[in-house]
Structure 1
Amino acid sequence: MLNIGCGSTFHEDWVNVDIYSTSEHVIEMDIRKGIAFEDSSFDVVYSSHVLEHMSKNAAEELVKEMMRVLKPGGILRLVVPDLEAIITNYTKFKGQLENSQDSLTEANYDWTMIELYDQVLRTKPGGMMIPFLLNPELPNKDFIIQRFGWEAERILKPISDVLKQINNLKETKEDLLIFGAGSFGIKVDAIFRNNAISCSAFIDNDESKWGQKLNGKPICSLERINEKSLIIVCSSWWKEVSIQLTNKGMIEGEDFIIFDKTISLSPSEVNSNSSLKEDKLIKVYQYINKELGEEYEAIFKEAVFRNSGEIHKWMYDAFSLSRLMQKSGISVSKVCMANESNIPNFEEYNLDILDGKVRKPDSLFMEGYKCN
């Protein structure tokens, strides 16, 4: 069984591939260049929320590759955002607002517009979704969780918890520091700015980063910390960092806060190539800023982001996805529920269902068999 573009959602009984590997159970593979397995190698091919990040033509080529490595009679299961569901919500909420305007319906309408456009047009990580979610008086939290399920809860809870802790400690802690001068720290810094919270510096254990700047803030060693400092740990290695800070006499919840404990990678699991690439990009940003200014730095960052794989390049409904599958050699395709599959014991693998909840309830789930 092959799981293509698995990210952090995989099962060790499957063959899992992604462009970067963060686990011994994930094979590093650039699927844009093809699937590096022999013809008819797998009984099942599964891919969730990958096709929409590719152009229409590139997605067609990828599905052809999926069919090539799938055995005759094998099962192809594809999961993508459901365009029809978004359009249905848009029409419903727009019609309701034309008859009677209320804040809840308006918030649902605004979120639906973000679902439709933001993931295509965004120019920074999280786009307009993160600022919307960070509204302390968010009126339609239940609707967003209904749409995005487990992932929405995973975003909302750590953000909400950390902001509350910062607010409770602001009288005794005046110097806010982010531990982790990487992509995780950059995203958290953006969250803080959206909430009018000022971070004064980044802390990092990597000596080569000391003295440089990130988002206009200095990157420092732990020597930067004083009794007025509150450290927000934004690292996949939060367990190791927590031990490091505790050994220096700091207390979790008083002197430091771990932003998200659901992410956990050991140093041996992190991809050294992606970390090296990230470090090189930071140096390029700094060079462009120095030579050409902030405007050109922003343009280059946007270009890098637009090609990072986060944005949506095409959308599918049941008709277009079924047509794509059948064009590639699927005999019969049908729409499924998240917990419905012809793949034996599919629910046990926790790919579309996690802890009894649909991982991505905004999705279209479709399965079919390869022609013999």
Structure 2
Amino acid sequence: ENTCFVLTLMVPFSFPLSKCALWDPVPMGDVIGAHITYYRNPKLSLVEKTLRLAYRHAKQNEKKSFSCFLLGTLAVNEDGEGITLTIDRFDPGRDVAGGSGKIPTASLPGDFLIPCTVNAWGPCSDNILVHSAEDISLAFKGLHQSLCSKEALDLSKLLTVRAHIFFTENLDNLHFSFRWASLTVANILEYTPVKSVPIIPTALARNLSSPMNIAQVQGTYKCGYLTMDQTRKLLLLLESDPKAYSLPLVGIWLSGVTHICSPQVWACCLRYLFSSSIQERVFSESGSFLIVLYSLTHKEPEFYECVPCSGQTELGFQILTCQETVHLFKNVEPSDKSPIQFELSSENQNAETEFFSRICKKIPIKRCVCEAVGRESLYLLARSSICIFIV
């Protein structure tokens, strides 16, 4: 038995000689669109105590413009079709030597950081901007770096949020005007269910098919890569496996998500498309790659082809905004049970979106609109204010 085991290890792994017809591309269902805003706009849930704390610090500050940070946690909704950012902490920040702004004083791993400016100038002007040109440029670089690096990809790294809050007082009334602005990746992906592809029964593959798989035990989703042997069977690789960055890859596997519509699937697919660490990606004749999904709702793995919308291969960016007014009473105990709700949308046209458009024309990028495949993609593109794609 030991001799057979050694001989098995010595057999060299080789990718199929022909890179054509690696799997059956016949659709087994309808095309499914994917984007962080595809089914539902991102929600912001601001705990009232956090807002009141920011207000008190800003009021005590000598300057009328007070820079600080709001902290929260980004999570995928229970139905898996949207995201909610719960903002429940305030950080006044501390000044950096040289006067180059503030940094957080108590940021922890996993915190979603929101740079915020609180003003007591009176009524809010419609022309107030949340982002500066430098903010936009740095956000583009950060989003791009998150997709290109080998570091573990969290969905929160594909969304930036900044805020500007104005407050006025009138007797016992507090009036807050909010300006939220977010930058994210604009690329739309499309998934098509296909027939199952044989999987080599490695320890990893057996673990992912078991009720107590690695994602269930660790309480989070897991993602890795797919390659293929000469018999056209899939070999599942961990992200940390060095072979994942030397062998030809045909796609990704995911475990621990509810279903294919999850924004986490979208994020992992973007990482696969734009990672600078992957040496060779092998696409189908139609430009698709494979997704093997070990979902929380199916016993057997699901198989999908993934393709960028209309073959769009450049990385794009999009702005989402929200402008709302909130009224509170000074001497009322805040309730954590009813946080203040906001919704980020690409439909809004305001000074922030116009500024974003002007700045993008000065950055070496190209505007591009994908031709949508299917009515849902067409609807999403129609409601998108701006999509900017890097050449």
Question: Is TM more than 0.5 here?
Answer: no
Identify the structure with the greater helix proportion: 1
Identify the structure with the greater strand proportion: 2
